[in-house]
Amino acid sequence: MHTYRAAIPTADILHLEDNNMHRANRYIASLFLTAALAAPVALMAIPAPQEDHNRNRVYDKEHKDYHNWDDNENKAWGQYLSENHKSSHEYAKASNKEQSQYWNYRHAHPDKD
Mean pLDDT for the chain overall? 81
Residue 22's pLDDT is: 75
C-alpha–C-alpha distance, residues 20 and 55, integer Å: 61
What is the Cβ-side half-sphere exposure of residue 56, based on CA atoms within 13 angstroms?
7
Name the residue with higher pLDDT: 81 or 51.
81
70-78: long-range pairs with CB below 8 Å, 24+: 72/111, 76/106, 76/109, 76/111, 77/102
Give kind and range of the element (H or E) at residue 33: helix 10-45
Name the residue with higher pLDDT: 111 or 83.
83
pTM: 0.51
Looking at residue 67, its amino acid is H
pLDDT of 4 > 70? The answer is no
Q: Which residues contact 89 (CB under 8 A, 6 or more apart)?
A: 81
pLDDT of 5 > 60? The answer is no
